[in-house]
C-alpha cells in the first residue's frame, strides 16, 4: 500500500490549476511542489509514529477528526479553504495539522521544497496548510478501510515514505528536507550520503527513527 500514490491521485488537473492560481505559479511547478509536500509530511508523520506516544496521538487524531469523508468532495473542501484562507474545523485546520507534524520546522521544509520545484518558500508555505488536511484524510481513510491497527499504520507510513524517494527527482529532495526538518544528522553527514543518493539518507533517518520503537 503506497500512500504517496494515493495522495498524488487526489490532485486532478483542475485542482492543480486552482492551486497554481492561488499561489501564482505554473501548474508543473505546483504539482512538483505538492509531491514534495506530500513526501515531507509522510516523513514527518513517520517520525512522529516512531514513539508509542506519537503513534497513539496520531491514531486518536485520525479516529476523531480524519475519517476520510471529506475526500468525497475534495474539490469543494479545497475551494472553501482557498476562499476562506484556511479550514474552520479540526479536519481542515491545516496550520494546526502542520504544527503537530513539523512543529517549528515548516519554513525549513518550505525552503527545501521551493528549491526543488522552483517556487519561493512563501509560495510553498501557502500550499502546506491546504495539502496537510488531504494527507490526514487519506491516511484516515486508509486506516479505516484497511482495518489497520497502530502497528500496521506505522509500517504503512514508513513504507510509503521510503517508496516516495524512488520517484524521479525525489531522492535528493527528501534527503535534504528530512535531514534538515527531522534533524537526523549533521550537515557534513548529510552531504556525504546525498552524494551517493538522497535515498540513502532517507533510509538511514527512517530506519533510525523506527529502530527506537
Q: What is the pLDDT of residues 66-111, one digit of tens each?
A: 989 989 999 888 988 888 766 667 888 999 999 998 888 899 889 9
In this prediction, residues 131-139 reach a mean pLDDT of: 95
How far apart are the C-alpha atoms of 109 and 187, rounded to whole Å? 15
Phi and psi at residue 68, to the nearest 5°: 90, 0
In this prediction, residues 106-117 reach a mean pLDDT of: 89
In this prediction, residues 172-192 reach a mean pLDDT of: 53
C-alpha cell belonging to residue 211: 529502530
Does some domain include residue 93? yes
Angle at 83 between CA 101 and CA 15, to 5 degrees: 70
Does some domain include residue 178? no
Looking at residue 96, its pLDDT comes to 92
- Give the domain extent around 10: 3-166
Looking at residue 39, its pLDDT comes to 87
Residue whose entry in the numeric block shows the C-alpha cell 525549513: 108
User: Sorting pLDDT into bands at 50, 70 and 90, what band is 186?
Assistant: very low
User: Sorting pLDDT into bands at 50, 70 and 90, what band is 193?
Assistant: very low
Does some domain include residue 89? yes
The pTM score is 0.83
Residue whose entry in the numeric block shows the C-alpha cell 487526489: 10
Q: Is 178 helix (H, G, I), strand (E, B) or coil?
A: helix
Q: Across the chain, what does the average pLDDT equal? A: 80
Q: Is 12 helix (H, G, I), strand (E, B) or coil?
A: coil
Share of the chain above pLDDT 70, in %: 75
142 pLDDT above the threshold of 50? yes
Does some domain include residue 188? no
Does some domain include residue 149? yes
Q: Is the dihedral of CA 162, 97, 53, 6 positive or negative?
A: negative
User: For 21-25, 36-40, 161-165, which range has the lowest pLDDT when averaged over its residues?
Assistant: 161-165
How far apart are the C-alpha atoms of 62 and 7, rounded to whole Å? 16
Does some domain include residue 16? yes
Does some domain include residue 210? no
30 pLDDT above the threshold of 90? yes
User: Sorting pLDDT into bands at 50, 70 and 90, what band is 180?
Assistant: low
What's the Cα-to-Cα distance from 123 to each of 21, 68, 76, 83, rounded to whole Å?
11, 26, 22, 16
Does some domain include residue 183? no
Looking at residue 210, its pLDDT comes to 40
DSSP code of residue 165 = T
Domain count, the chain: 1
| Contact between residue 163 and residue 149 where contact means Cβ atoms under 8 Å apart | no
Residue 185 falls in which region: left (phi positive, over 0), alpha (psi -120 to 50) or beta: beta
What's the Cα-to-Cα distance from 30 to each of 25, 56, 59, 145, 188, rounded to whole Å?
6, 33, 30, 30, 30
207 pLDDT above the threshold of 60? no
Amino acid at each position: 500500500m503506497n500512500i504517496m500514490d494515493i495522495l498524488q491521485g487526489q490532485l486532478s488537473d483542475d485542482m492543480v490549476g486552482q492551486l497554481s492560481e492561488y499561489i501564482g505559479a505554473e501548474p508543473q511547478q505546483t504539482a512538483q511542489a505538492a509531491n514534495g509536500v506530500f513526501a515531507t509530511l509522510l516523513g514527518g508523520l513517520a517520525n512522529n509514529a516512531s514513539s508509542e506516544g506519537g503513534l497513539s496521538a496520531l491514531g486518536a487524531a485520525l479516529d476523531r477528526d480524519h475519517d476520510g469523508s471529506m475526500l468525497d468532495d475534495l474539490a469543494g473542501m479545497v475551494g472553501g479553504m482557498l476562499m476562506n484562507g484556511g479550514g474552520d474545523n479540526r479536519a481542515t485546520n491545516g496550520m494546526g495539522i502542520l504544527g503537530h507534524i513539523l512543529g517549528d520546522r515548516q519554513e525549513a521544509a518550505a525552503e527545501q521544497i521551493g528549491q526543488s520545484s522552483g517556487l519561493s518558500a512563501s509560495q510553498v508555505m501557502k500550499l502546506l496548510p491546504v495539502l496537510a488536511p488531504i494527507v490526514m484524510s487519506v491516511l484516515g481513510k486508509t486506516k479505516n478501510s484497511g482495518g489497520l491497527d497502530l502497528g500496521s499504520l506505522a509500517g504503512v507510513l514508513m513504507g510509503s515514505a521510503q517508496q516516495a524517494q524512488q520517484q524521479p527527482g525525489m531522492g535528493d529532495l527528501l534527503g535534504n528536507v528530512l535531514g534538515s526538518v527531522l534533524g537526523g544528522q549533521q550537515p557534513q553527514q548529510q552531504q556525504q550520503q546525498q552524494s551517493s543518493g538522497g535515498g540513502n539518507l532517507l533510509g538511514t533517518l527512517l530506519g533510525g527513527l523506527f529502530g527506537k520503537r
